[in-house]
Amino acid sequence: MAGLGIVRLTPVRQQAVSVSLATGAYGLSLGALAIAAGLDLWQTMALSLIVFSGGSQFAFVGVIGAGGAPLAGVVTSAFLGVRNGIYGLTLAPILRPMRGVKRAWAAQVTIDESTAVALAQPASDPDARREGFWWTGVGVFIAWNVAVLAGTFIGSSIGDPSTWGLDAAAGAAFLGLVWPRLASRGARLVALSAAVLALALTPVMPAGIPILSAALVAVAAGWREPSARDNPSPQGEMPA
Amino acid sequence: MSAYVWLWVAVIAAGLISWATKLAGHLVPQRVLDHPRALRVAAFTTIALLAALAAVQTLGDGAALRVDARMPALAVAAVLLWRKAPFIVVVVAAAGVAAGIRALGWG
């Protein structure tokens, strides 16, 4: 579909457009899941436009859909967004100087994908890195929000979401988001312990709290000095 | 306030926190990057929360745990991810497996 146009773009822009389209595609599932979780169209679009970080949005919708309190949804999505702050730190020297509205926009589109494409360009070519960041950030912003809107119509036209396996799709979405981050043994241990802890706490704590408690595993695991092979990549290797 | 209004408050709060977190990264001095412990905890936090969400979404049923059609769907998703299938294929396949199993009358 992007066929002829895309080959005329520079390699950085080609990467940006492909990543944007691929990421946008799973905005469809977010839109459908948000409606299934009980958000209305406007709430879903507000979430998508202003939170604008896939993991945080899936988390918010997941907690609400499971019957958790709105506050638990906010806190879970906030913790998942912490990594975007670190991306901002990493990108700031590349993107400076920026001020005012431009900086506000750069912050909003600071996500896994824009960071990954920017940092995939050679450090010796700061222009390519900037171009990768902006093209991917804005590209994903457009594709994602259009796809979420389309997803809401799917979500509201199918009746009981579990008949269509949407509950299972949400679990698969979280697995797909965490999968690329499991390259190291330490990361896999953290994932497994967090999953076990959250499941163990589910029968005894209000919805949403077991998931937040899993963050304690991250603090415990990250506190000590890792051996070289345990070290997780702070960038995350792939989109989320 | 009604549950609907609270949900709106939560959506907007989540959005403001998300944006403020991103902006803070752009504004904070570079030397924070020299704290490997903070970076490790942050990277592990993402992993721990996503793994916990995957587990509870697949096995949780209110305050109970239940094995149903979601479990084989997640197993299929894991195989597809291992085979490097695109995200959207993984999600749609998981939904299809769960829907198919339920159509056959289980889970």
Residue A226 DSSP one-character state: P
* Confidence check: pLDDT of A233 > 60: no
CA distance A35 to A187: 32
Task: Find, among B55, B66, B75, B42, the residue nearest to A193 by Cα.
Answer: B55
pLDDT for residue A145: 97
Q: What is the pLDDT of residues A118-164, one digit of tens each?
A: 988 888 999 999 999 999 999 999 999 999 999 999 888 877 778 88
| B43, B23: one domain | no
Query: Where residue A205 falls among pLDDT bands split at 50, 70, 90?
Result: confident
| B60, B76: one domain | no
| A77, A18: one domain | yes
Q: Which of B46, B82, B88, B89 is the best substitution to test chain A (most A C-beta atoms within 10 A)?
A: B46
Q: Is the reported ipTM for this assembly greater than 0.95?
A: no
* Confidence check: pLDDT of A191 > 90: yes
The boundaries of the domain holding residue A22 are 10-166
Average pLDDT of span B42-52? 89
Percent of chain B at pLDDT > 70 equals: 97
| B73, B105: one domain | yes
| B40, B4: one domain | no
| A195, A84: one domain | no
CA distances from A28 to A21, A152, A168, B88 (A): 11, 8, 15, 9
Number of domains composing chain B: 3
User: Is A150 part of any domain?
Assistant: yes
Residues of A in contact with B32 (CB under 8 A): 89
Residue B64 backbone phi and psi in degrees, to 5: -110, 165
Q: Which helix (H) or strand (E) holds B64?
A: strand B64-65
Residue B60 backbone phi and psi in degrees, to 5: -80, 145
| A126, A227: one domain | no
pLDDT for residue A215: 86
User: Is A238 part of any domain?
Assistant: no
| B27, B7: one domain | yes
Average pLDDT of span A66-71? 92
Average pLDDT of span B23-31? 86
| A159, A51: one domain | yes
| A73, A37: one domain | yes
Query: Where residue A240 falls among pLDDT bands split at 50, 70, 90?
Result: very low
User: Is A173 part of any domain?
Assistant: no
* Confidence check: pLDDT of A193 > 90: yes
* Confidence check: pLDDT of B43 > 80: yes
Residue A51 DSSP one-character state: I
Q: Which of A33, A202, A223 is the best substitution to test chain B (most B C-beta atoms within 10 A)?
A: A202
User: Is A119 part of any domain?
Assistant: yes
pLDDT for residue A44: 98
Residues of A in contact with B87 (CB under 8 A): 22, 25-26, 173, 176, 239
User: Is A123 part of any domain?
Assistant: yes
Shortest Cα distance, chain A CAs vs residue B66, angstroms: 11
| A90, A155: one domain | yes
| B79, B105: one domain | yes
Number of domains composing chain A: 2
| A53, A161: one domain | yes
Query: Where residue A116 falls among pLDDT bands split at 50, 70, 90?
Result: confident
Last residue of a domain, one of A133, A166, A199: A166
| B42, B55: one domain | yes
pTM: 0.79
pLDDT for residue A25: 73
The boundaries of the domain holding residue B5 are 1-32
Query: Where residue A14 falls among pLDDT bands split at 50, 70, 90?
Result: confident
pLDDT for residue A115: 92
Q: Is A41 on the interface with B (CB under 8 A)?
A: no
Residues of B in contact with A168 (CB under 8 A): 58, 69-70, 73-74, 94-95, 97-98
